[in-house]
Chains A and B, each alone.
Chain A
Amino acid sequence: MGGIHFGSHGTEPVSLRRTAERPAPPFSAVSPAWKLALMLVLVFTTALLPVRFIAWHAGLGLLLLSVVFMGRIPLRPLLLRLSLVLPFLACICLASALGPQGGPDWRTLALRGALCTGTVTVFAAITPLGTLPLLLRRLHVPPLLVTTLALMHRYLFVLMDESQRMRRARESRTLRGGRSRTWLLSADVLGRLFVRASERAERIYLAMCARAWK
Chain B
Amino acid sequence: MHIPDGFLDLKTVAVTGLCAACGLGWALSKAHKELPQRKVPLLGLGAAFLFSAQMINFPVMMGVSGHLIGSALLAVLLGVPAAVIVVTSVLIAQAFLFADGGVTALGANVFNLGVVAPLAGSLAYRLVTLLVKDERGRIAGVAFGAWCSTIAASLACAGQLAWSGTVAWGVGLPAMVGIHVLIGLGEAVISALAYFAITRARPSLVEGSTGQDGQGTVLQGVLACLGIALFVAPFACPWPDGLETVAARLGFEHQAQDNHLSVWGDYRLPGIENPGLATALAGGLGCLLALGLALLLGQALVRRTRPESGS
A residues apposed to B, CB below 8 Å: 1, 142, 144-145, 147-156, 158-160, 162-163, 167, 179, 182-184, 186-195, 197-198, 200-202, 204-205, 208, 214
Contact = CB atoms under 8 A, between A and B. Distances in A.
B52 A160 contact: yes
A160 B56 CA distance: 10
Given A159-B49, A193-B49, A151 B189 contact: no
B42 A201 contact: yes
Interface in B31-61: 31-32, 37-49, 51-53, 55-56, 58-59
Contacts, number: 149
Interface of B: prevailing SS: helix
Contact of B201 (A191, A204, A214): A191
Given A152-B51, A152-B93, A156-B51, A184 B193 contact: yes
A187 B194 CA distance: 5
Given A152-B90, A190-B197, A195-B202, A145 B28 contact: yes
B190 interface: yes
A193 B47 CA distance: 12
Interface of A: prevailing SS: helix
| A-B CB proximity, top 6 nearest | A151-B44, A191-B197, A187-B193, A152-B47, A197-B49, A190-B194
Nearest to B78: A198
Among A144, A148, A159, the most chain B Cβ lie within 10 Å of the Cβ of A148
Contacts of A192: 197, 201
Interface in B237-264: none
Contacts of B198: 191, 194-195
A156 B44 CA distance: 9
B288 interface: no
A193 B41 contact: no
A194 B40 contact: no
A193 B52 contact: yes
A179 B57 CA distance: 12
Contact of A144 (B31, B48, B58): B31
Interface residues on chain B, size class? 35 or more
Contacts of A1: 32, 40
B89 interface: yes
Contacts of A144: 28, 31-32, 40, 43, 85
A196 B48 CA distance: 11
B56 to A, nearest CB: 6
Interface string B157-168: 000000000000
Contacts of B43: 144, 147-148, 151
Nearest to B44: A151
Given A148-B44, A187-B197, 14 more contacts: A145-B85, A147-B43, A149-B89, A150-B44, A151-B41, A154-B44, A156-B51, A163-B55, A182-B58, A198-B205, A202-B38, A202-B42, A204-B45, A214-B37
